[in-house]
């Protein structure tokens, strides 16, 4: 009887070990998610597979008055042969306040600088390689200085402005219970009214605009 129990125990241990190894192999062999990381500080784009860098490319980013949108986006469209300043390939992003994407260029000397109107520019040979590896739905994470580069002036936000900063202000005002509109990065009339109400409640100069005092009060600057 004891021999039978020992035998069964060894049998189950072997089975458990085999199952564990099988699961470990499956996990190890599972394909890693492909995604794109763009570092605006370095002006480089990284094609990622999980946490591993597969390829790295130099890029051009938005200039002072046309900053590149920072945040997590998705590729929503792919096109070939846009031509002209857009080069040979286009990867459109789901930025809510405008048309932004990753594309080629007919100005290769601009790569490595802040020269675009907010899009990410790449050499045509590089965007063609990236195009083949990035299906619609891929995540694109753009990281960089929220308030722009140190040498850029502080951005005053007024009605009609669009961008990452506007979206951050909407987020903070929504969290504070003031704003109930869409967090879409568009500074419209509803946001202007909300800003005025916030300014009155916190004894700030009522302008309907976002400047240094509002940035500090909303916790966006220290």
Q: Angle of helix 164-175 relative to helix 189-201, nearest 10 degrees?
A: 50
**Exactly one of 113, 117, 119, 217 is catalytic; which is it?**
119
Share in percent of the chain as helix, strand, coil (round to 5): 35, 25, 40
Establish whether 119 is a catalytic residue. yes
Determine contact, residues 44/148, Cβ cutoff 8 Å.
no
Distance of CA 202 to the CA centre of its chain: 32
Residue 20: phi and psi, rounded to 5, are -60, -45
As given in the structure block, the two tokens for residue 47 are 């094609």
Tokens linked to 62: 């938005």
Distance CA 217, CA 222 (A): 9
- Choosing from 14, 103, 113, 217, the catalytic residue is 103
Asked if residue 93 lies in contact with residue 100, where contact means CB atoms within 8 angstroms, the answer is: yes
Active site residue 103: yes
Which sequence positions are flagged as catalytic? 103, 119
């Amino acid at each position: 009887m004891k021999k039978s129990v020992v035998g069964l125990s060894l049998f189950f241990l072997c089975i458990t070990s085999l199952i564990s190894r099988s699961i470990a192999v499956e996990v190890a062999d599972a394909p890693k998610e492909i995604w794109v990381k763009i570092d605006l500080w370095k002006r480089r784009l990284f094609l990622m597979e999980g946490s591993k860098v597969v390829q790295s490319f130099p890029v051009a980013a938005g200039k002072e008055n046309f900053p590149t949108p920072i945040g997590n986006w998705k590729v929503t469209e792919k096109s070939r042969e846009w031509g002209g300043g857009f080069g040979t390939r286009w990867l459109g992003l789901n930025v809510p306040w405008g048309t932004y994407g990753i594309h080629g260029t007919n100005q290769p000397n601009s790569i490595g600088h802040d020269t675009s109107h907010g899009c990410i520019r790449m050499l045509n040979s590089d965007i063609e390689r990236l195009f083949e590896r990035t299906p619609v739905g891929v995540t694109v994470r753009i990281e960089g200085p929220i308030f722009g580069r140190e040498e850029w002036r502080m951005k005053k936000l007024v009605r009609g402005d669009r961008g990452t900063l506007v979206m951050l202000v909407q987020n903070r005002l929504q969290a504070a219970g003031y704003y109930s509109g869409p967090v879409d990065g568009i500074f419209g009339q509803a946001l202007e009214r909300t800003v005025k109400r916030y300014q009155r409640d916190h004894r700030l100069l009522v302008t309907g605009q976002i400047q240094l005092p509002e940035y500090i009060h909303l916790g966006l600057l220290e």
